[in-house]
Structure 1
Amino acid sequence: MKVRIFAAACLALLLSACASQIDATVSAEASAPGFWWGLWHGFIFPWSWIGSLFNPEIAVYAVPNSGGWYDFGFFVGITVLGGGSFFGSKKSSD
């Protein structure tokens, strides 16, 4: 069992090493969305995703953006403001 978990982790690490970000999606312009827009887009992600299913003009992620700070804001927006693991961590009262 431990060998399978280790092999799966190694395979996931190997595949993730192939991932890259296209340089055209990162912008150095001052008007490019940064941390605060990433935070907002992360927070409204569930509604944006539902809207994007019906309207092709709605996107859940801003491209181009400022890069790492936008990604960090998006992550914080999804995990902290959007509930994240909070709902799964509630203890049931017996």
Structure 2
Amino acid sequence: MKNLLIMTLALGWLFFLVSCFPGPNSVEKSPSPSGKVAGFWKGLWHGLLSPITFIISLFTKNIRFYEVHNNGNWYNFGFVLGAGLFLRGGILGSRRFRKQRRV
């Protein structure tokens, strides 16, 4: 009975996570009204600012968490890299942090 409950909860959690996946970006690679498309460097900057931007976006309608007028994979890579740098430097930063705690 306990295994059935755990399996049901795990399956429910999996369905919940899958339902949160984003859909396609229909305006990808199309310029914004100002005529610009965000690339890697803009993605990196937006990733670094993402925790602050997220909090502000909860309270205002004019600020968005993610630039939809982007060039695709390079913007996404920059965004993820920037967000990782904000969180202790990503994988390498966490390793360095663990070594410092042991000493």
Show CA shifts across 1:2-43 (max 9, x none): xx9xxx7xxx6xx96xx6752523115572000010000000
- The residue number in structure 2 matching 1:57 is 62
Secondary structure of 1:24's aligned partner: coil
Aligned partner letter, 1:90: F
C-alpha distance in 2 between matches for 1:88 and 1:44: 23
Question: Where does the alignment leave 5 or more consecutive residues of structure 2 unmatched?
Answer: 1-5
* Moved >6 Å (runs of 4+): none
Question: Where does the alignment leave 5 or more consecutive residues of structure 1 unmatched?
Answer: none
**Which structure dedicates a bigger proportion of its chain to helix?**
2
Asked if structure 1 preserves the Cα contact closer than 8 Å seen for 2:30 and 2:69, the reply is no
- The residue number in structure 1 matching 2:74 is 69
- TM-score, normalised via structure 2 length: 0.61
- The residue number in structure 1 matching 2:51 is 46
Larger radius of gyration: 2
Asked if structure 2 preserves the Cα contact closer than 8 Å seen for 1:43 and 1:74, the reply is yes
Aligned partner letter, 1:24: S
C-alpha distance in 1 between matches for 2:66 and 2:25: 16
- TM-score, normalised via structure 1 length: 0.66
C-alpha distance in 2 between matches for 1:54 and 1:20: 22
Going from structure 1 to structure 2, the CA distance change for 1:69 and 1:21 (only over 3 Å counts) comes to farther
